[in-house]
Amino acid sequence: RCKDVKAIMPPPPGSIVLRCPPHDEPPSLLGSGLAAQSADNRLREAEQALIESSRSDSMELLASARNIRSKKQKRNTLDALKGVVSHFQVPEAYDYDVASWLNYRDRRRGARQYGKFLTIRESLDAEYHGIYWPLRQALQDELVEIVISPGRPQAEPWIIFTAGAMGAGKSRTMHWMWERGIFPLDQIVHIDFDVFKLALPEWDGYVERNPLRAGAHTRRESGYLVEIATEAALRSRKHVWVDGSLRDGAWYKSYFALLKARHPAYRIAIIHVTASKPVVLERVQRRAAETGRDVPEEEVLDSIERVPKTVNTLTPLLNFLALIDNSAEQPRLRKYCDDEMCYLNEDCWEQIQSRFKSRSHQSIPADDTATAEMPSEQHTLQPTSSATLGSGGSAVAVFSAATSGSDVSASGIASGRVPPARAHEEVGEERSFARGAEAAAQPSVECEASRRPSTPSWLGRLKRRLAVFRAALAANTGT
């Protein structure tokens, strides 16, 4: 469409050029003999001209258009959030030397939760998050409602978490997969810590005074918004992608168990993106120079060290894990794990593509506590097949972005209930994705020939049984 492909590349001689006018007026076509034709006929001819072009040019055009649309998508979400906060007046006495949650904490004796997401707020850790002033809660509700508005209820929903060090290129990798039709980014509720941070009305003030502390001062409130938005989207049975680093293994282990207990229809996935340490540090420095979002080097090094450990900890709880190396110009799929074992064959992208295809389920009503409207023109993603693992009908898939390779064992599902999760200290840039279908998709013919298990099947079964035993033991002993 005109608005998507505008200004992608210089037009070759003799080609038909679409000129995009302002205010969504019908596009005009520059070319002989076309001026007198109707707008519909001219658009058909332009479409036919694109179809008749070479396949390579068409694929390049499609990828470029998707890239533009994905950037516009994130920018449009942030613009919509900023439009809401523009009506919020920051108090004159606001203290930029402390975090936002401390400034807006309601310390009155009768402080309580309010608003559209009241039941979700009451289910979260009030001791950790605190209770915000009523006006701030109203602002938070508006931000959450905008973020969770895409998508429809799904028959087989997925929640997907990206994992990886800061600067590993998690967002770049996800957009790269979407541009090539591997990952349906435009059909998912995308919950991004950074988007919430940048939308807060105090963000610019924090950056102006101390760029290195801006992220820390807004971390807890943005993490709170992520938790509310994630739960609201899950109650609506939408596909969800939580976009973050996945550093706190202990918190996520208890959260995954709680998630499967509360939302057994969901399957869980992690996408782990890796990059070398020098590449990560260079990207973080470049991003700071371009955007002003500076991150202390010790935080980057901490994420490099902790993310692979977290992924190893969470792997037995997953339905799917993909390990992607993003050190070079083009990401490479190095390894993937299903419920049976892990496979070392490279670039078998069909394993990701086949799992996260979407199919809307109009007959499933959203949970009464999820209040966001679901536009009819949007579609969510559903996998076509999956493998049922463990009990409860829930499964987990993990995609992670890290800076060093992680030794990931075969994934499985541990049953049993884990004590309720507490809000994690390092809410950071976490990213989550709604989980997928019931059966793991079968590999394509091209992938089948190169499948090389990284662990024997008997070892995978043993590890899964151990994971189930440990979860049951923890549930019975309270440890």
Does the pLDDT at position 388 exceed 50?
no
- Given a cut of 90, is residue 30 above it in pLDDT? no
- Let me know if residue 366 belongs to a domain: yes
pLDDT (0 to 100) of residue 436:
34
Mean of all residue pLDDT scores within the chain? 73
Domain that holds residue 363: 81-477
* Whether residue 466 is found in the same domain as residue 394: yes
Asked if residue 76 is part of any domain, the answer here is no
pLDDT (0 to 100) of residue 2: 44
123 & 205 share domain: yes
Query: Is residue 96 very low, low, confident or very high in pLDDT (cuts 50, 70, 90)?
Result: very high
Q: Do 339 and 232 share a structural domain?
A: yes
Q: In terms of domains, do 202 and 109 share one? A: yes
Residue 60 is assigned to a structural domain of this protein: no
Say yes or no: 23 and 134 in one domain: no
Among all chains, which residue has been given the structure tokens 């692979």? 308
Total number of domains constituting the chain: 2
| From 17-26, 45-54, 321-330, 382-391, the region with the lowest mean pLDDT | 382-391
Q: Which pLDDT score, from 0 to 100, does residue 244 have? A: 82
Q: Does one domain contain both 27 and 172?
A: no
Structural domain contains residue 295: yes
Residue 435 has pLDDT above 50, yes or no: no
Least confident of 66-70, 255-259, 325-329: 66-70
- Answer whether 435's CB lies under 8 Å from 268's CB: yes
- 250-278 pLDDT, tens digit per residue, is 989 999 999 999 999 999 999 999 999 99
- Is the residue at 73 inside a domain? no
Distance CA 303, CA 246 (A): 9
CB-based contacts of 71: which residues, under 8 Å, 6+ apart? Answer: 175
- Residue 21, domain member (yes or no): yes
Residues 146 and 218 in one domain: yes
User: Model's pTM, two decimal places?
Assistant: 0.62
Q: Average pLDDT, stretch 375-391?
A: 34
What is the reported pLDDT for 382?
Answer: 34
Contacts of 361-368 spanning 24+ positions with Cβ under 8 A: 361/152, 361/153, 361/154, 361/155, 361/237, 362/152, 362/153, 364/153, 364/154, 364/155, 364/237, 365/153, 366/153, 366/235, 366/236, 366/237, 367/235, 367/236, 367/237
Question: b/e per residue, 229-257, with b = 16+ CB within 10 A?
Answer: bbbbbbbbbbbbbbbbbbbbbebbbbbbb
Tell whether 69 is covered by a domain. no
pLDDT digits (tens, 9 = 90+) for 393-419: 344 444 444 444 443 333 333 333 333
User: For 135-173, b where at least 16 C-beta lie within 10 A, e where not — what string?
Assistant: ebbebbbbbbbbbbbbbbbbbbbbbbbbbbbbbbbbbeb
55 or 338, greater pLDDT: 338
Which range of 19-28, 337-346, 465-474 scores highest in mean pLDDT? It is 337-346
Q: What is the pLDDT of residue 453?
A: 56
**Residues 34 and 133 placed together within one structural domain of the fold:** no
145, 375 Cβ separation under 8 angstroms:
no
Does one domain contain both 189 and 302? yes
* Shared-domain flag, residues 45 and 99: no
- pLDDT greater than 90 at residue 292: no
> 476: how many CB neighbours lie within 10 A of its CB?
10
The model's pLDDT over 132-190, given as tens digits with 9 standing for 90+, comes to 999 999 999 999 999 999 888 888 889 999 999 888 889 889 989 989 999 888 788 99
Residue 146, token pair as written in the block: 């905008």
The residue-averaged pLDDT of 57-66 equals 45
pLDDT at site 297: 84
Please indicate, yes or no, if residue 299 is contained in any of the structural domains.
Answer: yes
For residues 459 and 425, what is the distance between their CA atoms, to the nearest angstrom? 35
**More confident of the two residues 56 and 156:** 156
Q: Which of 149-153, 230-234, 338-342, 444-448 is predicted with the least confidence, judged by mean pLDDT?
A: 444-448
Burial of 22 (0-12, 13-18, 19+ CB in 10 A): exposed
Residue 17 has a CB neighbour count (10 Å cut-off) of: 14
pLDDT of residue 41: 64
Q: Between these two residues, 44 and 161, which has the higher pLDDT value?
A: 161
pLDDT over 80 at 366, yes or no = no
| Together in a domain, 363 and 417 | yes
Same domain, 21 and 139: no
